[in-house]
Amino acid sequence: MNQTDCEQYLAPLRFLREREVVHFQRFSECWNILKELYPDGKQNRMYR
């Protein structure tokens, strides 16, 4: 992004960067929920 001033390139790059930040935040929230549900890192699994 530092290599161009062309808005045609910068706008999609900004969007993708912001989307990546939001994805990281949501995955972090999910990870924290899983750590609360399974504090010992184990979960019961059903096998067929």
Q: What is the largest CA-CA distance in the chain?
A: 57
Which residue has 């924290």 as its token pair?
32
pLDDT at 33: 92
Which stretches of the chain are assigned E, i.e. beta strand? none
According to DSSP, residue 41 is labeled: S
pTM for this model (two decimals): 0.66
Residue 41: what pLDDT?
Answer: 74
pLDDT for 1 equals: 85
Distance CA 20, CA 11 (A): 14
Q: What is the pLDDT of residue 45?
A: 62
- Identify the pLDDT of residue 14: 96
Print pLDDT tens along the chain (48 aa). 889 999 999 999 999 999 999 999 999 999 999 888 888 877 766 554
